[in-house]
Amino acid sequence: MSETLFIAELVRRTGCGLLLDISNVFVSATNHGFAARDYLADFPLDHVGEIHLAGHTRQADDEGELLLIDSHDRPVADAVWRLFDVVISQCGPIPTLIEWDSDLPDWARLKAEADAAQMIFDRKGHRTLETRRREDVACMTGVGEPLHDRAQTLRHAGGCVADAVVIDQEKSHG
């Protein structure tokens, strides 16, 4: 049974929602020699409640072959943005977290990543909470907290120290 069939069966039996880490799909596809688009075509996208995007590091394995590390310390790769575009084209807006955990850049770089995601939503004609309320694009902190809890913490605190950028979306049903 393939991984995507296993996940689809898990969703069918439990009704659970899914977090889709598109960067991890790209890194795994590159490292293991499968097509990321095919994986996403088989993935139960209608159950995805949140998407994660991150940068990766290029290294070589013991044989000198390309090895990608999902390092969360670089901008999102163009290939990952293209996969994100494909998913958003099929699913509409889904809450999206841009993970950046180390080697933090300045705010302008983090904001540029959020703006890139927003441009994909806008190009697809999806009106998001961010386009109505700029405060919903926020630099977030906190590892392991649910997305909603981090957003609430930020709103109450009035600021943060960056490790990720969140774009809060509203699913369109029409």
Q: Where are the domains of the chain?
A: 3-167
Cα separation, 17 vs 83, whole angstroms: 20
Most confident of 18-32, 111-125, 137-151: 18-32
Residue that the structure tokens 């907290």 belong to:
145
- Average pLDDT of span 22-43: 97
Strand partners, 96: 51, 167
**Do the Cβ atoms of 75 and 104 come closer than 8 Å?**
no
| Residues ≥6 apart with Cβ < 8 Å to 68 | 26, 27, 30, 31, 56, 57, 58, 59
- CB atoms < 10 A from the CB of 31, how many? 15
pLDDT of 108 higher than 60? yes
Strand partners, 138: 166
3 state DSSP class of 154: helix
pLDDT of 134 higher than 60? no
pLDDT of 47 higher than 50? yes
Give the model's confidence band at 94: pLDDT under 50 very low, under 70 low, under 90 confident, else very high.
very high
Could you give phi then psi for residue 66, rounded to 5 degrees? -60, 135
- Average pLDDT of span 126-137: 44
Q: Residue 126 has what pLDDT?
A: 65
